[in-house]
A and B are shown apart, each in its own frame.
Chain A
Amino acid sequence: MAATASALSLPVSRREKGEEERQLVRLAQSGEEAAFEELIRRHQQRVFGLVSGILRRREDVEDVVQQVFLKVFVSLKRFDQRAAFSTWLYKISVNECWDYLRKKKVRPLVYEADLSEEQVSRLDGVVSADQPATSSSDRAEARDLLERMMEKLPEQDRELLVLKEVEGFSVQELAEILDLNVNTVKVRLFRARARLMDVYRRRLHSKPEQQTEGKEG
Chain B
Amino acid sequence: MSMNSENRNAESSYVACPRYEAALEDQLQGTLRGPEAAMIADHLATCVGCRVALEDAAVSARLLAIAEPATDPGAGFSRIVMARIRQELQINEGKSIWRPFVAVAWRFAATAAFALVLLVSFDLGRHSQWVADQPIVAENRIPEIAPDRPSLPASRDDVILMMADTSHGKQ
Enumerate chain A interface residues (CB-CB to B < 8 A): 33, 36-38, 40-41, 44-45, 48-49, 51-53, 61-62, 65-66, 69-70, 73, 123-124, 126-131, 133, 139, 142-143, 146-147, 149, 161-162, 165-168, 171, 183, 186-187, 189-191, 193-194, 196-198, 200-201, 205
The answer to whether the Cβ of B110 comes within 8 Å of any Cβ in the partner chain is: no
Pair count A-B, CB < 8 A: 146
* Size bracket of the B interface: 35 or more
Task: List 17 additional A-B contacts (Cβ < 8 Å) besides A40-B82, A52-B70, A143-B68.
Answer: A36-B82, A41-B75, A45-B73, A49-B69, A65-B73, A70-B84, A70-B85, A124-B2, A126-B66, A147-B67, A165-B61, A168-B69, A186-B25, A189-B25, A197-B12, A197-B60, A205-B5
Known: A187-B21, A187-B22. A198 touches B64 (CB 8 A): no
The 29 sampled A-B contact pairs (Cβ below 8 Å) are A33-B82, A38-B78, A40-B81, A41-B78, A44-B77, A48-B72, A49-B70, A53-B70, A62-B77, A69-B81, A69-B85, A126-B62, A129-B1, A129-B62, A130-B2, A139-B66, A147-B67, A149-B63, A167-B70, A168-B69, A187-B25, A190-B21, A190-B24, A190-B28, A193-B60, A194-B56, A194-B60, A197-B57, A201-B8
A128–B69 CB distance below 8 A: no
B interface SS class: helix
| Chain B residues within 8 Å of A142, by CB | 66
CB-based nearest B residue for A65: B73
**Interface residue from B21, B61, B78 paired with A40 (Cβ < 8 Å):** B78
The answer to whether the Cβ of B80 comes within 8 Å of any Cβ in the partner chain is: yes
| Chain B residues within 8 Å of A41, by CB | 75, 78
A127–B85 CB distance below 8 A: no
| Chain B residues within 8 Å of A193, by CB | 56-57, 60-61
B70–A45 CB distance below 8 A: yes
Closest 7 CB pairs of A and B: A205-B5, A165-B64, A186-B25, A193-B60, A186-B22, A40-B78, A52-B70
